[in-house]
Amino acid sequence: MKKNNKYALLLLIILLVFNLPACDFSWQRYYNKEHRFSILLPRFWQKEQGAYDTVILAKESPRGRDDKFSENINVVITEFAEPISLATCYELNKEELFKSLVLIDLAEGDIFAGMLPGSWLSFKSRIKEIKVKVLSAIFVKGKHGYTITCISEEEKYPKYEPVFFTIIRSLRPK
């Protein structure tokens, strides 16, 4: 390989490594023995178990005085009396969202966490005076529904979207 090609390849690798959106984050795998699942979370985010009816809530620390909203991720687990389909669980969650929020720019899709199929939806809304964008994913395993919700200020969402999808895809129910 020519010397110039080696430098070009090295430069390309450096650019890719330093421009990956999720590289700003150091990861930590959170394990929950009671609900028998694990998920990747940003290592330096604050974590609270059981806060606001969630199993786990992770939120970024405010970045200065002007930061009015902490980007956050939460996991909620619903136990059903009998096994439920992904489609039914997804529609139930979607109905609840429509009851409580105004959803703008709704988008939906399919996703996998390991080999477990899931469905996601994203939308814009408001929390008080703050415009937010929400990404929520639903997975079902047996009698358990797993809902992972990620929220960011609308203008910061492009930075967080790849991080949120990494977190969602990292879910591992046992």
10 is a domain residue? no
13 is a domain residue:
no
Non-local (6+) Cβ contacts of 81 within 8 A are: 143
pTM for the full model? 0.83
Question: Does residue 140 lie in a domain region?
Answer: yes
Residue 169 above 60 pLDDT? yes
What is the rounded average pLDDT of the residues 149-157?
A: 96
Report pLDDT digits (tens) over 38-49.
999 999 999 999
User: Binning pLDDT at 50, 70 and 90, where does residue 3 land?
Assistant: low
Q: Please tell me which residue, 3 or 91, carries the higher pLDDT value.
A: 91
Residue 4 lies in a domain: no
pLDDT of residue 2: 54
pLDDT in tens, 26-79: 999 999 999 999 999 999 999 999 999 999 999 998 887 788 899 999 999 999
Q: Does any domain span residue 6?
A: no
- CB contact set of 169 (below 8 Å; sequence gap of 6+): 111, 112, 113, 114
Residue numbers of the domain that contains 48: 25-173
Distance from C-alpha of 62 to C-alpha of 105, rounded to nearest angstrom: 27
Q: Which domain CATH number covers 95? A: 3.40.1000.10
Query: Within a domain: residue 19?
Result: no
How would residue 8 be classed by pLDDT, with cut points 50, 70 and 90? very low
Residues 76/97, Cβ–Cβ less than 8 Å = no
For the chain, the distance separating the N- and C-terminal CA atoms, rounded to the nearest angstrom, is 48
Of all residues in the chain, the percent with pLDDT exceeding 70 is: 86
Cβ neighbors of 21 (< 8 A, separation 6 or more) are 159, 161, 162, 163
Residue 105 lies in a domain: yes
Average pLDDT, the chain: 87
Q: Is 123 in a helix, a strand, or coil?
A: strand
Mean pLDDT of 100-122: 94
- Residue 170, pLDDT above cutoff 50: yes
In a domain, 131, yes or no: yes
How far apart (Å, rounded) are the C-alpha atoms in residues 70 and 127? 12
Q: What confidence score (pLDDT) does residue 1 get?
A: 53
The number of distinct structural domains making up the chain is 1
